Amino acid sequence: MSPPAQPGVPGGRGSKGPPARKLLCMCSLSLCLTYLCYSLMGGTGPAALRSPAALPGSAAPGAPRSPTAGPVTAAPRSPAAPPGSAPGPSAAPPRASNASREGAEGTWLRTQLAPGEVIAAQSGAFERDPQESSTTDEELSRAGSPGSRGGGSSSTTPDYGEKRLPQALIIGVKKGGTRALLEAIRAHPDVRAVGTEPHFFDRNYEKGLEWYRNVMPKTLEGQITMEKTPSYFVTNEAPRRIHSMAKDTKLIVVVRNPVTRAISDYTQTLSKKPEIPTFEVLAFKNRTLGLIDASWSAIRIGIYALHLENWLQYFPLSQILFVSGERLITDPAGEMAKVQDFLGLKRIVTEKHFYFNKTKGFPCLKKPEDSSAPRCLGKSKGRTHPKIDPDVIHRLRKFYKPFNVMFYQMIGQDFQWEEEESDK
């Protein structure tokens, strides 16, 4: 005969449910499973906040490593892509938030770089945030229509000659001084340049070379046809496409201190979209840690060395002229002498063509003999920059310094942008 069951013992007549020890065990197991799930999913709970995976340069346990995480490693130069294997155009996602940019545009490392280190970018990363253009589709359509005169150097130029593909291009950079350079070189009688930005090699390539030719002004034998579109310099497919058109095309890049250029870029956007966040907010991935957000186009454009690497796969340095945007203001005649020499032109545009406009703060072309007014850049040029926190400027200078040094070494020319701030 079995002994009577005792109250509180499993199986006994007095048992009314699981004991406290069993409940505690089940709760503990449930918490462990929950913690494990959070860890495997990358962690969004309290455990993730305490985990080193939440810090820059480390990956969450069990998660694939992000392209923006980890230390910088030197990347070997990638071989040039064959001329016929261009990647398709990439869509430009909206700049909604830092979180969405992390996935869609986070191809750049957001940590301070040491000199000589290289960032490996995914194909097409430079084109994810298209630049604004001063040219409207209507202007391009009108210029490219059959029988149009294109964008000649002046409205009084006789309408004769023939339209040719350009032999020289001003390919960048945005807010570097490309418009000032274009207007100055158009004063040369042996140069005809379209005034609008065709954006052929980045946005209108599918329209074909005949459309591009129709956009150009008519020229005589011996004259040079030119155009300028600053976004070419940061467009991944542009070097291959231009090389395919004419491998002896001469290229001009107007560069400017990347920090000043970024602020000028932001100022232009701010004038059109006053509701955008402050420069300080957009410039940082994490302001507290000082992590620069290089996926923002205003910052990314100024990393000249990385963009130039793409061009050197198709064009030798001898076919690329780098013009100082700063010296276009302080010594326009000197910079124009270099441009005319590079293009094989007689030095006709000299100091007598310029005067300094104190109101605008930059040089303007003197009044041509056949015009009633001087040729000065419009009101959209020379905008007053917003006041930027000096600490932000200091951090940006430190960010750009290794890239600037790399750029100087690549082209054999020092623009001395670092001399604006003493080493601290």
Cite the active site residues.
Answer: 175
Under 8 Å CB-to-CB from 311, ≥6 apart: which residues?
233, 239, 251, 320
CB 388 within 8 A of CB 267: no
Per DSSP, 117 falls in state -
CB 184 within 8 A of CB 363: no
Cα separations (Å) of 217 from 69, 133, 197?
49, 20, 13
Give the residues across from 169 on adjacent strands. 227, 251
Under 8 Å CB-to-CB from 60, ≥6 apart: which residues?
39, 42, 43, 48, 51, 53, 54
Backbone φ, ψ for residue 418 (5° rounding): -75, -15
Q: Which amino acid is at 330?
A: T
> In the block, which residue shows the tokens 């007014």?
373
Q: CA-to-CA distance for 270 and 386, rounded, in angstroms?
A: 9
Q: Which residues does the annotation place in the binding site for 3'-phosphoadenylyl sulfate?
A: 175-179, 256, 264, 381-385
Q: Which two tokens stand for residue 41?
A: 């999913």
Smallest CA-to-CA distance from 398 within 375, 420, 374 is with: 420
Give the residues across from 193 on adjacent strands. 226
Q: State the Cα angle at 295 between 383 and 283, rounded to 5°.
A: 50
DSSP, collapsed to helix, strand or coil, labels residue 100 as helix
Per DSSP, 10 falls in state T
Q: CA-to-CA distance for 298 and 175, rounded, in angstroms?
A: 10
What does DSSP say about strands 250-255 and 168-172: parallel, antiparallel, or unpaired? Answer: parallel
Q: Which residues does the annotation place in the binding site?
A: 175-179, 256, 264, 381-385
Q: Which two tokens stand for residue 35?
A: 């913690």
- Beta strand residue intervals within 272-379, DSSP E: 284-286, 291-292, 320-324, 354-357, 362-365
Q: CA-to-CA distance for 356 and 102, rounded, in angstroms?
A: 45
Under 8 Å CB-to-CB from 85, ≥6 apart: which residues?
none
Smallest CA-to-CA distance from 295 within 64, 96, 52 is with: 96
